[in-house]
Structure 1
Amino acid sequence: MVNRRALTGLLTAEAISITGSRMSLVALPWLVLGATGSPILTGVVAAIETTPYVASGVLGAPLIDRIGARRASIIADALSFMAMGAIPFLYHLGISVLAPLVFLVGAFRGISDLSKKVLLPMAVEQTAMQLSRATALYDGISRFSALAGGPAAGALIAWLDAPAVILVDAVSFALCAAVVAGTVRSRRPSGQTDTPTAGAPAATNGEAREGYVVALRRGLQYLRQDRLILSVVIMMFAINLFDNAALSVYIPMWAKGTVGSPIALGLCSGAFALGAMVGNVGIIALAERVPRYATLTVGLLVGGAPRFLSLGLSDSVVFVVVIMFAAGIGFAAINPVIAVVMYERIPVQLQARVFGVATAAAFAGMPLGSLLGGLSVQSTGFTTSLVLTGVLCFAATLTPVLARRTWRQMNIVPQPTAVSSRPAVPDT
């Protein structure tokens, strides 16, 4: 029987969550800067939220497995509502009160986001939709919500103020909890006698009683032994490193130094976002027909090195904007392909743990990219730095071609297997 209720609810919750998070990403620094006047404290508060978000994805995964992804998502969103909702009323007491609240929001949001990823395959199983199309739709909704959240926050801050926008984000957490609670239902997978909640492991062979450290170790052991998934995680780290270097250092410097106009910065960001949206629509329409390995490889090559080389070798706004648009289209294919491969290969009982590590690795590349981008420009010069980064990015994105024996395994749809510490599809 086709039932789209859970998938619709999960996609709705994701849209609300991402929109609210992007709004707070604008409003919270504005609030701190207005209250303290310190750019250093503004950066510190942002780091205080990001760090537990990354850590909770790894450290909270065994907890998600223990209590179930549905329950973890609802509880984490409810706690986020309380922590975020307290900020507009208590921030004036100083950084000693604000910092712990922001820390809690980051930690709870990390658990909530990971729980929703774990719930997605279960929700898709109840529909007639292919998992590849569902992951593309999930990624598209995330991209659109992120794109809409920033401008919405700016308009609301101008109309109301930053505390009010943060309160709106707090309400969005409550809405997410209500949507998941009302639409996603626990159900028994075939062949199991009991499962506590959707996304939780079955209580068989004593597995549900495994210790916290053992649970973490099993997830890391699986990741280490599955060569394809490990390669994907390393690639995600590299892509985020290069991407953040471009966003935080290279594109702003190109717009200011080469073009001399902030309008160029907005055009580059907008062209990339528009390209990603167009590419995502194409992936949703063709998800079941395009070969995964070829799609991912072409997407990486188109979306990676050309951006840096165009910035380093051209001062034409039109040319660079066209390259950014093409890069957005290329990158639109990456997340859906990676997601569906990970869902298919990783046993459900280990998905929270492995996805948590993957998220932590992806986020780890972001601050490192900003740091290395700035140091590179300072030590080698702008043009040289961009060309060098372009060459390194090309080398990284060429990995699926050079190691195609491993990467071509993503075209293989593995048969369901029992959970073990070994990969679902053996590496050959």
Structure 2
Amino acid sequence: MTATETAAPRRLGPLVLLNLATLFSATGNGIAIVVLPWLVLERTGRASDAAVVAGAATLPLLLSSLFAGTVVDLFGRRRTSIISDCLSALSAAAIPIVANTAGLSVLVIAVLAAVGAAFDPAGIAARESMLPAATTSAGWSLDRMNSLYEANYNVAYLVGPGIGGVLIATVGAENTLWVTALGFVLSIVTITFLRLENAGRPDASSAPTSLWRGTVEGLKFVWHNRLLRTIALVDMAVVALYLPVESVVFPVYFTELDKPAQLGSVLMALSVGGVVGALAYGPLSPFVSRRVIMLVAVIVLGAAMVAMAFLPPLWAILALALLQGLVFGPVGPIANYAMQTRSPEHMRGRITGVMTSTAYAAGPLGYLLAGPMIDAWGIQPTFFVLAVPVLVLGIACCAFPVLKELDAPATVS
């Protein structure tokens, strides 16, 4: 235990509430990841339609996440989290309501998915911006807090897809979205009890003067910081190549097999690995270089994706999914640490929003390309097209000297 962890009286309440809210909200999103493409494939059976909906759910994230951080810095972290989850709950509930009244089409599903996705980034940025204060309140180190937070986030994506797969098979895809809405409602209730420094309305002297100007300030800050810029660009590439596997390739593959529960089990294996990997990062961080952990993560992720592209038996896919989650689990805590130690307090929302938006920037392109490629070439060739570049990127990262700054003393410019 470090001196930082014993210096001040501990107040664990904010840490617990913040992680509970994140768990509830992310679980709702984890359910939606399985339900939305399944809802489309039930109606048309076309991978390209599922890809359109997946892209529609991701495209708004690029724009909304870019401005979400500025919204947090303008209106306050706690308030933004509550409003964001409220709007997300309403949009999730709208799908079963429309299904039972006017009826659903691919276009309607895509529009409602896009509307719902647009609200999520503000809540995510608000909660992540409160992490340093919760860390100080608990008397923990940043590495320990980030390890717990990311593990908690992965637990949500472990529970969410599993719940989604089971409920699809029992009550149907449409009714499953009521549980998604419930997740957001529980997050709202939890955050209403949170009291934390810098979580309320920001000081007018440090708040951005406008939505546009604040966002530009965040973009400039990230671009001029070499480490944050590199992490953002690598994250963009990995997200663009990997997310279509979860949201298009695997749903199509398991739909053809008529095995929705197996889809949920693969996504659960990823999350189990992610939970273990993220939790292991906390005790591992004092002894192993952050740079080494990140390089191993990207290289092994790429190698496991290539192996998975051969579409081996389910047990092998599950083992590879577990390995992917295990090695990539620490990447989130490392990225959080880089942001937290290199961003001023009054700009943390903007910088978090910009870094989050870069993760979504190439996602829609990956979705929209993956669907037509599957329709034209089949699942396996498309899988290889997505997997091989991730392995190449991981090897290339070994030549990026800027990643050595992950282990340098923290600097805020």
Q: TM-score, normalised by structure 2?
A: 0.81
Could you tell me how far apart the structure 2 residues matched to 1:126 and 1:323 are?
A: 38
- Change in 2 beyond 3 A, CA 1:244/1:43: closer
Figure out how many residues of one structure are paired with residues of the other and give that number.
401
CA distance in 2, matches of 1:80, 1:308: 32
| Cα-to-partner distance string for 1:281-333 (whole Å, 9 max, x where unaligned) | 322332343321121122222222x1244346796877666554433321122
Aligned equivalents of 1:390, 1:86: Cα separation in 2: 36
Q: C-alpha deviations, 1:80-103, integer Å up to 9, x for none?
A: 333433443344225687766544
Report the Cα offset of residue 215 of structure 1. 1.0
Higher-RCO chain (CA-CA 8 Å, sequence separation at least 6): 2
Q: 1:403 to 1:349 in 2, by over 3 A?
A: same
Hey, what does 2:159 align to over in structure 1? Answer: 148
Q: What letter matches 1:285 in structure 2?
A: P
Partner amino acid for 1:302?
A: V
Q: CA RMSD in A?
A: 3.9
Amino acid at match of 2:231: V
Structure 1 pair 179/217, CA: closer, same or farther in 2 (3 Å)? Answer: same
**Structure 1 gap segments, 5+ residues each:** 188-196, 418-423
Correspondence for 2:224: 225
For the 8 Å contact 1:279–1:330, the answer to whether it is kept is: yes
Counterpart residue type for residue 294 of structure 1 = V
Indicate which of 336, 340, 355 corresponds to 1:339.
336
The answer (yes or no) to whether the contact 2:84–2:119 under 8 Å persists in 1 is: yes
**In structure 2, distance between residues paired with 1:28 and 1:272:** 19
Displacement of 1:175: 1.6
Q: 1:319 to 1:90 in 2, by over 3 A?
A: closer
How do 1:250-399 and structure 2 match up within 5 A?
271-304=269-302, 306-311=303-308, 322-372=319-369, 392-399=389-396
CA distance in 1, matches of 2:35, 2:158: 15
Q: Please name the residue that 2:195 is paired with.
A: 185
Is contact 2:89-2:185 (8 Å) kept? yes
Q: CA deviation at 1:150?
A: 1.8
Q: Which residue of 2 aligns with 1:202?
A: 203
Larger radius of gyration: 1
Q: Structure 1 stretch 42-51 or stretch 150-159: which is displaced more?
A: 42-51
Relative distance call for 1:386 and 1:50 in structure 2 (3 A) is closer
Alignment-mate amino acid for residue 207 of structure 2: A
Structure 1 position 238, deviation (Å) = 1.2
Query: Is 1:49–2:57 an aligned residue pair?
Result: yes
SS of the counterpart of 1:126?
Answer: helix
Partner of 2:15: 7
Offset at residue 347 of structure 1 (A): 1.8
* Paired residue type of 2:195: R
CA offset digits 1:137-177 (Å, max 9, x no partner): 11111112112112212333444444443223223222211
Correspondence for 1:135 among 120, 127, 146: 146
Q: Report the alpha carbon displacement of residue 273 of structure 1 after superposing the two structures with TM.
A: 4.0
Task: List aligned pairs for 1:151-190, cutoff 5 A.
Answer: 151-182=162-193, 184-187=194-197
Q: Which residues of structure 2 form unaligned runs of 5+?
A: 1-8
> For residue 133 of structure 2, what is the aligned residue in structure 1?
122
- Are positions 1:93 and 2:93 aligned together? no
Look up the SS of the partner of 2:178 in the other structure: helix
Residue 403 in 1 paired to residue 384 in 2?
no
The percentage of aligned residue pairs carrying the same residue is 26
Cα distance in 2, alignment partners of residues 378 and 153 from structure 1: 25
Contact 1:56 1:108 (8 Å CA) reproduced = yes
| Distance in 2 between residues matched to 1:45 and 1:335, nearest whole Å | 26
Give the drift of 1:351. Answer: 2.4
Deviation at 1:396, TM superposition (A): 1.5
**Would the alpha carbon gap of residues 263 and 19 (structure 1) be closer, same or farther in structure 2, given more than 3 Å must change?**
closer
- The one-letter code of the counterpart of 1:154 is G
- Structure 2 counterpart of 1:62, from 60, 63, 70: 70
Q: Deviations over 1:96-151 (max 9, x none)?
A: 87766544422222211221111122211101221112112111111121121122
378-387 vs 275-284, which moves further: 378-387
Q: TM-score, normalised by structure 1?
A: 0.78
In 1, the alpha carbon distance for the partners of 2:351 and 2:207 equals 17
Name whichever of 22-31 and 345-354 sits farther off.
22-31
**Residues 47 and 327 (structure 1), Cα distance of their counterparts in 2 relative to 1, 3 Å cut:** closer
Mapped to 1, the partners of 2:184 and 2:253 lie a distance apart of 38
8 Å CA contact retained: 1:118, 1:199: no
Contact 2:290 2:407 in 1 (8 A): yes
* Equivalent residue letter for 1:338: A
Letter in 2 for 1:144: V
> Is the 8 Å Cα contact of residues 244 and 367 (structure 1) preserved in structure 2?
no
Distance 1:263 1:157 in 2: 9
Q: What SS does structure 1 have at the residue aligned with 2:207?
A: helix
Match of 1:23 among 22, 31, 54: 31
The alignment partner of 1:402 has SS state of coil
Secondary structure in structure 2 of the residue aligned to 1:150: helix
Alignment counterpart, residue 410 of structure 2, candidates 409, 414, 422: 414
